[in-house]
Amino acid sequence: MNAPRLLRDRIDSFPTHNIAGYGVRPGRSGPFGATLVPGGVNFAVYAGNATSVSVVLYKLGESDPTAEIAIPTDFRIGRVWAVTVFGLEYEDLEYGFRVYGPENAGINDRYDPTVVLSDPYAKVLGGREEWGKLPDYDRQYQHRSRLAFEDFDWEGDRPLRLPNEDMVVYEAHVRGLTRHPSSGVANPGTYAGLVEKIPYLQRLGVNCVELLPVFEFDEFGNSRLNTDTGEMLLNFWGYNTVGFFAPKAGYAATSRFGMQGDEFKNMVKALHAAGIEVMLDVVFNHTAEGNELGPNISFRGLDNQTYYMMTPDGYYFNFSGTGNTVNSNNPITRDFIVSCLRYWASEYHIDGFRFDLAAVLDRDENGVPLGNPPLIQALAHDPILRDCKLVAEAWDAGGLYQVGSFPNYHRWSEWNGKYRDTIRKFLKGDEGMIGELATRIAGSPDLYKGRGARASINFVTCHDGFTLADMVAYNDKHNEANGENNNDGANDNNSWNHGAEGPTDNPEIARIRDRQMKNAMLLLMTSRGVPMMLSGDEVGRTQKGNNNAYCQDSELSWFDWSQVDTNAELLEFASNVIAFRQAHPVLRGAHHPNSIDPSDCGHPEVSWHGTRAWQPDWSPGSRVLGIMWCGHHLDIDASPDYVYVVANSHWDSHDIELPVVDPGFVWHLFADTAQENAGACVLGDEEPLSNPNWYTVSPRSVVALVARPVS
């Protein structure tokens, strides 16, 4: 076979200079970071007001550098220092930058040439390959930049582009999902381990996993001993990014071989093949470099005052509550963030991003909220990110609360904290919740008018706060294991223990807790908007009342897979209600439902009811709401689809008069959370009610009915 002659040699693939024993030539100013080029590696780094920059080269894993290449000032274009270095053993290479600041450096500069800096664009970072292994702090260079090959074989994989409103999101922690000895996977706590649980996710019916931070972080950042137990508390959640372009090495079974990128991509590919999207929880509001006392890892030593919000007297603004605040609307920082997300969308086929403390990203360099934040706008309109979901956690630790008002450009959706609060308050029987409950179930038109229900990410629980099982078993947080005298974590949980704090032998309390978990699931899966559930809630995962398990790399956080058997009934309920949602498009409409009847079918898209049909009781003492969904308005040609949900948070049962729908249609029971040992049936097995006009809804329970022609 005669291969066509390809142009492989460029005349610029030869050195022009020799520095520190290496052939080099003036580099290309972009892309930033280290790039494989014919015969060598191109390094390009933006370094603020630096007077001199060196590339420091290491042989893989060695403490001392093999060479240090001072980039000639002539090689600098603008503020970007670039050099192409030839003859590098790039498979065994680690590199960093040494940056010298000007003599007249300002109060907000942090140049420090004694430190070797990580490349903020590094695609692979060494130094924390094995999760939880105590780092060698004698090594000068901790988070070691490496090159990636980026030649993964995707075999035709494409992002799934599921419509927002069709998603059922499962918020999970890569390590926590399979680290427990009960997981039974070959590589516990890894990306590869998650792949082995895909059949479980499919059985549950979720179609999007939202992963807690997976960018390289240091689990030893702020690690400490629990004074009571002597146990080392690591940063388990990872909301302290060290490298934004590098996947967390300690989550890979293959990090010893530097193949975490391939392992991560294989996970994405396998999830996509199973019809499951991948959303990443990304943390751009702060970094692992901390405050005045924090270490120089990368940004600080490159151009501190560009990347961080600084006070005039040299301190770090702290809108993130974690020490520093990324200056995200600075054009240079903004470009960094946009490039990073483009990289994950294109190189890793990521389907969406959830932005931690996104309200921080609305602030200017002094922390003032902007009406038209350039970063948020740039992400909304970015051509590469156009099909990615963009989800804001629309608040921050500086008191900016933007649920319903986050600048959205018709692109952004939000974690709906008000949905969570309303459902929780309703379930524990608070007064005066019926009106707001209806608003939340309808997709929060008060918050998202003009944006549609698809802008509302509905959730009752997430990694922050109680698990579902703990929400119904504890009145108060129990965070003693975090070693901060129970002072950390939220105090405002809207939870209720139902008569005993924590585990109980009382079967009545256990029954009502089980029912309340099902109530929450059924309401979540029959609300307009995008439901998100917390991993493990479907099997009653407990954190023993800990509502802030960020430092618990232990059985407190890990998914205990024995619960799949011990709580099989709850799992079956969860999977049945998810299937129910997917079977009834009217529950998933992208828009807010009309309460008029524009297509004149006799019923509005949603209608509200009380104990009497068509008579909702909005009074403060009311604890019963009937919701009828009519699918006719979504698709006039489809056979009529009616769903009736009754939510009762009262301590008494109520006889509910059911609305009459089309002639020949009768109500069939899909779910009644008060029914023992089942609660919800498999789709298609719904039985007609014995009394077609009335149903008795038990205390503190939720019922779902469907109308079908009499068989």
Partner 1 sequence: MKTRKRMVGEVAVIALSGGLDSNSAAEIRDKVTGQLADHEHVVVDFSGVTCVSSASIRAMLLIYRQAQALDRTVAVVGLSPEVRNVLAATGFLHFFVVAGSVTDAVTAVADQKGVNQLERATSVA
- The residue among 178 and 567 lying less far from partner 1, judged by its C-beta, is 178
CB of 132 to partner 1, least distance (A): 19
Dig out the tokens for 285 from the structure.
């509001």
- The residue among 24 and 253 lying less far from partner 1, judged by its C-beta, is 253
- The residue among 196 and 421 lying less far from partner 1, judged by its C-beta, is 196
Among 107, 186, 384, 638, binds partner 1 (CB under 8 A): 186
- The residue among 148 and 283 lying less far from partner 1, judged by its C-beta, is 148
CB of 62 to partner 1, least distance (A): 14
| Nearest to 299, CA basis, from 118, 113, 78, 123 | 118
The separation between the first and the last C-alpha atoms of the chain, rounded to the nearest angstrom, is 68
CB of 265 to partner 1, least distance (A): 8
CB of 253 to partner 1, least distance (A): 4
Among 54, 145, 187, 304, binds partner 1 (CB under 8 A): 187
Tokens 């307009």 belong to 528
What DSSP letter does each residue of 241-300 carry, written as one string? EEEEEEE-GGG-TTGGGT-HHHHHHHHHHHHHHTT-EEEEEE--S--TT-STTS--SSHH
Which residues are catalytic, by number? 356, 393
- Integer Cα distance of 392 and 10 in angstroms: 46
CB of 537 to partner 1, least distance (A): 28
Strands (E), 566-623: 606-609
CB of 270 to partner 1, least distance (A): 7
Tell me, by CB under 8 A, how many residues bind partner 1.
23
| Nearest to 569, CA basis, from 707, 492, 677, 483 | 677
The region of 160-168, 191-199, 327-335, 457-465 touching partner 1 under the rule CB under 8 A is: 191-199
667 binds partner 1 (CB under 8 A): no
CB of 19 to partner 1, least distance (A): 24
| Nearest to 629, CA basis, from 656, 653, 608 | 608
118 binds partner 1 (CB under 8 A): no
CB of 91 to partner 1, least distance (A): 5
- The residue among 195 and 625 lying less far from partner 1, judged by its C-beta, is 195
89 binds partner 1 (CB under 8 A): yes
Interacting positions 242-301 with partner 1 (CB under 8 A): 252-254, 257-259, 262-263, 266, 269-270
- The residue among 193 and 679 lying less far from partner 1, judged by its C-beta, is 193
- The residue among 257 and 401 lying less far from partner 1, judged by its C-beta, is 257
- The residue among 148 and 423 lying less far from partner 1, judged by its C-beta, is 148
CB of 22 to partner 1, least distance (A): 18
- The residue among 253 and 279 lying less far from partner 1, judged by its C-beta, is 253
CB of 187 to partner 1, least distance (A): 6
157 binds partner 1 (CB under 8 A): no
- Integer Cα distance of 578 and 570 in angstroms: 12
The region of 171-179, 188-196, 505-513, 675-683 touching partner 1 under the rule CB under 8 A is: 188-196
- The residue among 270 and 380 lying less far from partner 1, judged by its C-beta, is 270
- The residue among 276 and 578 lying less far from partner 1, judged by its C-beta, is 276
225 binds partner 1 (CB under 8 A): no
Contacts 24+ apart (CB under 8 A), 385-390: 385/341, 385/342, 385/345, 387/159, 387/161, 387/351, 388/159, 388/341, 388/345, 388/350, 388/351, 388/352, 388/353, 389/164, 389/167, 389/277, 389/279, 389/351, 389/352, 389/353, 389/413, 390/352, 390/353, 390/355
- Integer Cα distance of 195 and 205 in angstroms: 16
Among 86, 100, 149, 665, binds partner 1 (CB under 8 A): 149
192 binds partner 1 (CB under 8 A): yes
Among 29, 54, 190, 320, binds partner 1 (CB under 8 A): 190
- Integer Cα distance of 423 and 26 in angstroms: 61
Among 91, 130, 476, 635, binds partner 1 (CB under 8 A): 91
- Integer Cα distance of 61 and 148 in angstroms: 16
The single-letter code of the amino acid at 572 is E
Interacting positions 309-368 with partner 1 (CB under 8 A): none
Q: What are the CA-CA distances from residue 420 to residues 125, 390, 456, 519, 579 (Å)?
A: 37, 20, 11, 13, 22
- The residue among 201 and 253 lying less far from partner 1, judged by its C-beta, is 253
CB of 533 to partner 1, least distance (A): 27
Dig out the tokens for 568 from the structure.
């099989």
Q: Tell me which DSSP letter residue 13 carries.
A: S
Q: Which helix or strand (DSSP H or E) is residue 37 part of? A: strand 33-37
Tokens 């922390």 belong to 367
Angle at 411 between CA 409 and CA 416, to 5 degrees: 105
Interacting positions 1-20 with partner 1 (CB under 8 A): 1
Dig out the tokens for 678 from the structure.
């089942």
- The residue among 262 and 351 lying less far from partner 1, judged by its C-beta, is 262
Within its chain, how far is the Cα of 506 from the centroid? 36
Q: Tell me which DSSP letter residue 567 carries.
A: T
Beta bridge partners of 353: 280, 390
- Integer Cα distance of 208 and 211 in angstroms: 10
CB of 209 to partner 1, least distance (A): 17
Burial class of residue 498 in the structure, from the number of CB atoms within 10 Å of its CB (0-12 exposed, 13-18 middle, 19+ buried): buried
Q: What are the CA-CA distances from residue 537 to residues 463, 514, 533, 574 (Å)?
A: 11, 11, 7, 9
CB of 195 to partner 1, least distance (A): 8
Task: Compute how many other C-beta atoms are within 10 angstroms of the C-beta atom of residue 558.
Answer: 24
Angle at 684 between CA 679 and CA 686, to 5 degrees: 45
- Integer Cα distance of 207 and 209 in angstroms: 7
Beta-sheet pairing, 22-26 with 67-70: unpaired
| Residue ranges that bind partner 1, judged by CB under 8 A | 1, 89, 91-92, 149, 153, 186-187, 190-192, 195, 252-254, 257-259, 262-263, 266, 269-270
